Every structure is written in structure tokens, then in C-alpha cells.
Homo-oligomer: A and B are copies of this chain.
């Protein structure tokens, strides 16, 4: 069966965008929309990425998460290299339609290129805890995951690390 191309509506009024049923996403000056991806079962935040129009269209029509990689500047079918495909259980859009929330199940259970389950494996102490632990305003990050799900070298080999300083 041929895949039907997904079409968006033009953004006309605030009421249409916030209170209506039109899918009228706002892409920024780079042509991108912010994406937040959580584990559909645990609610854990897995990653935050971006989609261009094509990635959003493919995510909707295929039911698998596609992103736009800013560091590699390519359309990115998540899991194409690592096998860690994200199956979309629910795709939501926010009030002003400039952010997408994906609730996904991940084959293999990991989402982070460093090898952890989530990209968010370190926390920062806040409030009274910050006051207690800081030294001259500096605090140490604390690990919330201590065990990697996979070894990045096994999965990505010599592919360049996407992190930009």
C-alpha cells in the first residue's frame, strides 16, 4: 500500500492553533521543531531532538520516530544504525504547535549514544541540597544511572561522536 504523504495546515489564527483540530506545526527559522521523547511505559525522558517537516511527516505516516540530526545535517531514522528503533505509541503537539511529544517503546531499551537507557543520566542538586553540596558555587553532577545498556564502540564502531563542544 503506498504511504499517503502527511499534509499540514497553514497557521492562520491563535484560536485555530491553540483550540482547533488543525495540525499546523510551527517550524523555526532553521526549519525545525523541537521534539521531546519519553518512554511510554516508565514516563522517563529518553531524549530531546528536532524534526524538520519531512521527519515529522515520516514519523506520523510510519509510526516510527524520525528526527533531523543537527550535527550531521541529515534526516535520521532513529535506530537505523543501532537497531534501537522507537515505536511511537502516542504523538502529541503543544498549545502553540511548536513542540512535539513522542511517547515511544524502544527496541533494546536504550536511547543514548553514550550507552545509557536515557540521555539524562546525571542530576544537579538544587535548592537546599545545592547550598549544602556546593563549593564556591560549583557542584558535582550525580549519576542516576550507573550501568550502560550497551557499549557504544560495539554499536557505532568508529562513527564520529555527535557531541559538539
Contacts and interface: CB of A to CB of B under 8 A. Distances in A.
Number of this chain's copies in the complex: 2
Contacts of A42: 43
Q: Dominant SS at the A interface?
A: loop
Contact of A38 (B1, B38, B161): B38
A123 B21 CA distance: 10
A5 B140 CA distance: 15
A45 B11 CA distance: 24
A36 B124 CA distance: 15
A44 B103 CA distance: 10
A14 interface: yes
Nearest to A140: B21
Given A36-B36, A43-B38, A88-B126, A120 B141 contact: no
A76 interface: no
Interface string A77-90: 00000000000101
A43 to B, nearest CB: 2
A120 B92 contact: yes
B123 A47 contact: no
A6 B61 contact: no
B61 A99 contact: no
Max chain B Cβ within 10 angstroms of own Cβ: one of A48, A94, A125: A94
Interface of A: 1, 3-7, 9, 11-14, 17-23, 26, 34, 36, 38, 42-45, 47-48, 59-64, 88, 90-96, 99, 101, 112-114, 116, 119-128, 130-131, 134, 136-142, 144, 161-165
29 contacts: A5-B137, A7-B138, A9-B138, A11-B165, A12-B165, A18-B163, A19-B114, A21-B140, A21-B141, A26-B165, A34-B34, A36-B36, A38-B43, A43-B43, A45-B101, A60-B127, A60-B130, A61-B126, A62-B126, A63-B127, A90-B123, A90-B126, A91-B124, A92-B120, A92-B123, A92-B124, A94-B120, A95-B114, A96-B162
